[in-house]
Structure 1
Amino acid sequence: MRLITHNILACHARGCDSNNFPLSFKDAQVEIIEAEFSPQFLIKFIPRLDWNALVATAREVRPICHPSSHSHQQLGDDSLPDTQPDSPDDPFLRKLHHVLFEVGFGPSLPS
């Protein structure tokens, strides 16, 4: 799951309380997936984002190292500002693109 999808999901299952957004990742496998950069799409999509949830989730997950596979998966991404900029520039849009489209999460794989 990419963070763009995560930013619009909430738990609707019986037993979930009203404080269920954003969903938390537990024991997730992090994957970096290259994706085409589209600044026009990002500019149009920014108003739909829950900015605080996106920033909190990007910062929540810390670097993970799997010695058996020698892969170093990094998150704990602090590149997004605390407040959403009024006029996004290219460097900001590239950071946002990376967080939304190139960082993926899935179930943790057995080692």
Structure 2
Amino acid sequence: MAKQHTVLLALLAAGGAVTIVKPAEAKIRCNEGFQLVDGAMLSTPYCRDNYVAAVARKYGFDAPDAKVRNNPNFKREICRWIGHDIRVKDACEEVEPSGRSRF
């Protein structure tokens, strides 16, 4: 019995000596449709969709980020109303092409 307590105490002491390290926060950081990636701001679908939602909210729409990202029909509907806004024009053309091609 004493041997078990000694082993248990040794394990607790070893565990107590371990420093608890908080893992790095893996949060995507967006700024107006651009994502911070390795120190550079890159346009990504995730951030573009979040920006569409943010601009839609400024127009008074109830547009949660996740709903715009996960529901192309909802994004298309929002873009029908705000797609003329220069801030989201490119992001909206992904779901509602203007019909004018560069070629």
Q: TM-score, normalised by structure 1?
A: 0.27
The answer to which structure has the higher helix fraction is 2
Tell which has more relative contact order, 1 or 2 (C-alpha 8 A, sep 6+).
1
TM-score (norm 2): 0.29
Computing the radius of gyration from Cα coordinates, the structure with the larger value is: 2
Higher strand share: 1
